[in-house]
Structure formats: C-alpha cells, structure tokens
Amino acid sequence: MEDGISELPTDDGLPSTVTVLDAPDGGKVYLVGTAHFSIQSQEDVSRVIQEVNPHIVMVELCEQRTNILLLDEEVILREAKNINIKKIRATMAQNGVFNGLMYILLLNMSAHITRELGMAPGGEFRRAMAEAKKVPGCIVQLGDRAIDVTLHRAIASLSWGQTIRFIWHLLTSNQTISLEEVEKCKQKKMLEDMLEEMAEEFPALKRVFVVERDMYLCHSLQVAALQPRREPCRIVGVVGIGHVAGIVEHWGKIKPQDIPPLLQVPPPSLSTRVIRVTVRVACIGALIYAGYKLRPRRWFP
C-alpha cells in the first residue's frame, strides 16, 4: 500500500462464485453470485468483503425490500402464521389488491422454505451489511429495481391463462428442499436448466424477473464504479447467482437511456383488470362470510 492507497486483491484464492470485472478507472468489481438460502454464500460474502475492503457494497435489494435486512427465521414464521383477514386487508390497502396478495403468497413461500431449511432468506445481504460496517468509509448501495415495478411489469406481460397458472404455481409450490439442493443451485449447469425451464413455461416472466433486472443491476454497478475517488475503485456486488451471467454480458454496455424503459409500468390489460375485480369480489365475499360466521348469535326459545 502506497500513500494510503489500498492494493487490489488478486483473483487467485477467491471463491469460485466470484466474477471479477474491470472498471474504467483501472479498479475492479467483485461480483459474488449467491443462493438466497445458502450458508456457504454468506461465508463467500464475508470472505470477499474482508479481502477487498471495498469502497461500495452493492446488494440486490430495493428500498421496498430492505426489511429483509431485519428478518430472521422467527420473524418470517411468525408473520406467515399470522396471515389473517385483517392482515390481508392491511397489506392490500398498502400495496394494492393484486400486489398485496402476491406479497402474501411470496411470504408464504418464504415461510415454507424457512421451515424446511431452518434459516431465513437474505442471509447473504445481512452478512454483507454487517461486513460493510467493519470497513471504514464503505457505503452499502441498493442496486435492484423497485419490486412493485417488477411485479406490475411481470403481471402485465402475462396473458389471462398464464396469470392463472402463475398464481396456481405460487399456491401449490410447497415442495420439499434440502440445504444440499440449495448449494447445487449455484452450479452453472443446474442454474441454466432451471432458467430454461422457467423460460419454457413463462417466457415473459424470465424477461421481466431475470433479463431486465440483469440490466438494471449492471447499470447500478457501473454507476458505483464511476463515482469519483482518489484511487481505483473496489466494488463488491452481492447478487443472486442467476443474475451473474447477464451482468457480465451487459457490463460496460448499459447506457443511462436504457434504464427509463425498464421502469415504465404498462397500463393493466383487460385480463389483469378482470383478475383484480375477481380478487376484490372474492376478498369482500370472504370478509362477509367471516363476519357472518363470527357474529354473536342470539338464541330464541
């Protein structure tokens, strides 16, 4: 180290899930591909941040998902167990009818996996936050597109039939999973097979959930790498391993004008409007039924 300027670590010895990208100022971006329920991924994140001493740690989160930094197994399971009519109404009031129900479905899926594995999702992001606090001057940046924009664009991309199938998939996907299977998800071949399977069943969703967010995350890393500083940048990006290949493909190619189209929310299609009305009517019906069943009974002789 000369004049207080840190040397960049070499690529040798870094975890196999790390991809190193060259920054315009001669610095490096260390992209850590993770599995969201993987203990090994958390260890990889710790190791890379400790070795790199980054200026910035970018995580695959948006403002609306920062609550994952506060969650643990107990909180997720408690939240999932307390899903009742009152909570559903409050969630829909805060996020809209459709997004509220999607949130409830996704929470239920997270709780199921948490029960299966005994750990909460997002451990790698909580680890990144904890390690970044130990590095003097290190900043944690949120690099992902807002989740409500992603959900709106995803639903708008589906036909009536695809929307019904997707909701049914969320409702019925409580399959068992083991820690070994989670670790296998980080293997390139298995990952490619999973993405291919998703593309075959829901091609539009792969575009919205994977490709568009690859571009957005790549842009966030590019912006982080271009911030002025007195030495070559050291950036650590913590993203799901499914985004690594896309970020590498787009690295250095994303322009500022490429981003606004990714943030546009299309007007709801006829099928989406029909589904929202149907869901709203179903919820009102459920509330009326619950009120009827729970009303005080008066008995007459």
Query: pLDDT higher for 220 or 184?
Result: 220
Instruction: Please compute the mean of the pLDDT values over residues 118-139 and round it to a whole number.
Output: 89
Contact 108, 27 (CB under 8 A): no
pLDDT in tens, 234-252: 999 999 998 999 999 999 9
For the chain, the average pLDDT equals 76
Percentage of residues in the chain having pLDDT higher than 70:
56
Q: At what angle do helices 97-117 and 73-81 cross, to 10 degrees?
A: 130
The secondary element (H helix, E strand) that includes residue 204 is helix 203-206
* Max avg pLDDT among 26-40, 72-86, 179-193, 271-285: 26-40
User: What is the predicted pLDDT for the residue at 175?
Assistant: 56
Instruction: Please compute the mean of the pLDDT values over residues 140-159 and round it to a whole number.
Output: 87
Instruction: Please compute the mean of the pLDDT values over residues 278-290 and round it to a whole number.
Output: 48
Domain ranges of the chain: 18-268
| pLDDT of 159 above 90 | no
Q: Residue 24 has which token pair? A: 């315009």
Within a 13 Å sphere around the CA of 191, how many CA atoms are in the beta-carbon half?
19
| pLDDT of 300 above 50 | no
User: What is the predicted pLDDT for the residue at 290?
Assistant: 44
User: What is the predicted pLDDT for the residue at 34?
Assistant: 92
Largest CA distance in the chain: 94
| pLDDT of 85 above 70 | no
